Amino acid sequence: MEPTGLIGDSAAMRELRRRIQRVAPQDVTVLIQGESGTGKERVAEALHRGSRRREGPLVKVNCAALAEGVLASELFGHERGAFTGADRRRRGRFEIADGGTIFLDEIGEMSPGMQTKLLRVLQEGELRRVGDTATRKIEVRVIAASNRDLEAMVAAGTFRKDLLYRIRVVKIDLPPLRSRPEDLTTLVEHFLARHDKQRRLTVSAAAMRALARYAWPGNIRELENVIERCVLQIGRASCRE
């Protein structure tokens, strides 16, 4: 597999790998934008591996999966007694990532209040645990990702312009699968090798033509799901339409 973990030899993928190699050593905040399933987490991993922080932690947070109060505690930590159920002190993800990288996935789903708190951390390089009065210095590289148009959200007043400027020092746009059909065969072979351990299945020419005609709104994630389902459900000598 490619050292970046990104599969495909289309012009778009070659340019993406070149951009990752240029940006990774620079200790700057990066915004990765792309449709759902295009591999934003894989790009974040490649950026971390290529950075001077590679020996430090890479901490991942899905901002869409947690409510605002829970997200604040998850990111910044909390003191014992800070809220109901806080029976002990807990370090947040930023503290755990100190000296390394934090990946904030789906940052566009953050509430306005959480955006303000995050902006303060990025500006000051320090945080305050929920329920604490003291601040703590941190030294973390931030990589953010979103499948939403953050500039449109700024125009609509749902995302802070100053926060966008902070996280978009460098922007990396990921191509959707439908824009690089020449990579489809390589991806199919990769996912077959991953999920068909006994190497029982092949993909017929007719099936490949059908795959190529499809628009793949779920991108690489959807393609892998289709191949995995094929392996599980068919389990015979060839995978046909």
pTM here?
0.89
- Burial, 95: exposed, middle or buried (Cβ in 10 Å; 0-12, 13-18, 19+)? middle
Instruction: Give residue 3's pLDDT.
Output: 53
Instruction: Give residue 128's pLDDT.
Output: 80
pLDDT in tens for each of the 241 residues of the chain? 455 579 999 999 999 999 999 999 999 999 999 999 999 999 999 999 999 999 999 999 999 998 877 898 889 887 765 676 666 778 889 999 999 999 999 999 999 999 999 999 999 998 888 877 778 899 999 999 999 999 999 999 999 999 999 999 999 999 999 999 999 999 999 999 998 887 777 888 999 999 999 999 999 999 999 999 888 876 554 555 4
- Burial, 156: exposed, middle or buried (Cβ in 10 Å; 0-12, 13-18, 19+)? exposed
For 196-228, the three-class secondary structure string (H helix, E strand, C coil) is CCCCCCCECHHHHHHHHHCCCCCHHHHHHHHHH
- Burial, 32: exposed, middle or buried (Cβ in 10 Å; 0-12, 13-18, 19+)? buried
Instruction: Give residue 133's pLDDT.
Output: 72
Instruction: Give residue 197's pLDDT.
Output: 81
Query: What are residue 145's DSSP bridge partners?
Result: 32
Q: Left if phi > 0, otherwise alpha if psi is -120 to 50, otherwise beta: which for 144?
A: beta
Query: What are residue 127's DSSP bridge partners?
Result: 136
Instruction: Give residue 4's pLDDT.
Output: 58
Question: pLDDT (tens digit, 9 = 90+) per residue, 3-33?
Answer: 557 999 999 999 999 999 999 999 999 999 9
